[in-house]
Amino acid sequence: MAAPESDDHHAITAEGSPVRQFAVFLPNRPGAFVAILDLLRSSHVVVLGLSVQDSIDNTVVRLVVSDPFTVETVFIEKGIPFNSMDVLVVALRQGPEQMPDCLRTLLKAETNIHFIYPLLTQPQGHSALVLGVEDNDFGHAMLSKAGFKVLRQEDLSR
């Protein structure tokens, strides 16, 4: 079966595929998020990172998962409104105290960060940040040049 297509630049390279984030749009009512988590668990998908933006009427949940292809298929089959995009996941090999250096690298490169949140897991024993930046290729290049390891989906998936 072919991988789902997307409108975003989503190329698999020799290094691996970019990390995919899903933004799920939920009604703001008790149990809506738990239902999504139960659906993912029943599909053998692990939520590796999340961010929640709540408002009076609805909630946007950003998710990084262990199996983005399964999640996309499940969301489409179940009619769950979502969008997806590639994000950068940066390993903080010296721990959370390295976060200012990571962000300063992007500041010096004059690239905007649209959102940031930590992973729930520690890939390869390191803390990690999920970053939504205005240009993933440029952000990846600047972070790599500064000595940061930018993780690929294969680094996160089981």
Domain that holds residue 143: 87-156
Integer CA distances (angstroms), 122 to 6, 52, 156, in order:
28, 20, 9
pLDDT, residue 5, reads: 42
pLDDT, residue 7, reads: 44
Q: Is residue 10 part of a domain?
A: no
In this structure, are 63 and 119 located in the same domain?
Answer: no
Q: Write the CB contacts of 111 (distance below 8 Å, at least 6 apart in sequence).
A: 133, 134, 135, 138, 139, 142
In this structure, are 75 and 100 located in the same domain?
Answer: no
Q: Is residue 14 part of a domain?
A: no
For 12-60, write each residue's pLDDT tens digit. Answer: 555 789 999 999 998 888 898 999 999 999 999 999 999 998 888 888 9
In this structure, are 39 and 73 located in the same domain?
Answer: yes
In this structure, are 70 and 97 located in the same domain?
Answer: no
State mean pLDDT over 71-90: 96
Which of 85, 119, 139 corresponds to the end of one domain? Answer: 85
In this structure, are 94 and 120 located in the same domain?
Answer: yes
Q: Is residue 141 part of a domain?
A: yes
Could you tell me if residue 79 is left (phi over 0), alpha (psi between -120 and 50 degrees) or otherwise beta? left
The CA distance from 108 to 62, in Å, is 27
